[in-house]
Structure 1
């Protein structure tokens, strides 16, 4: 039993853990034109696994998304908006 515990302890010390990071990205969504557009974009982004927070502004034509990068990616976010009919890109 001690050999198994020692082997497990050794394996855990040499295996580098993968830490998720919370990231925030601003997406430009230029095709939003009416009051329902931000609602649709927010719903689409909120359905992406790992998304923690979504703020969408019609006036700025942008979405600010906070997400766990171990569960979601920028590609998944832009795909979600595109699939909802609102292509987006990362603001620089």
Structure 2
């Protein structure tokens, strides 16, 4: 056996020892990692937003005050409808429905 072979063997033994140490460290860190658990927390602000969304969904789309005002104007004969405004609304709705 030559000196070079002894040096190589010494280096290989050092590498094996270091690898064994790394394996032990990895095993310990793996144990630590398995102890952790995932957890989700919803902030109070997010809960408030969800509650507000639910209230909006439950709210009525009908504005009763506006309906009552228009009914009174129709009954009294003072409700004036502009043909131009009606036509603009119809065209705008048609355009919105296209896109």
Normalising by structure 1, report the TM-score. Answer: 0.25
Work out which structure has the larger RCO, using CA pairs closer than 8 Å and 6 or more positions apart in sequence.
Answer: 1
Which has the larger helix fraction? 2
Which has the larger strand fraction? 1
Normalising by structure 2, report the TM-score. Answer: 0.24
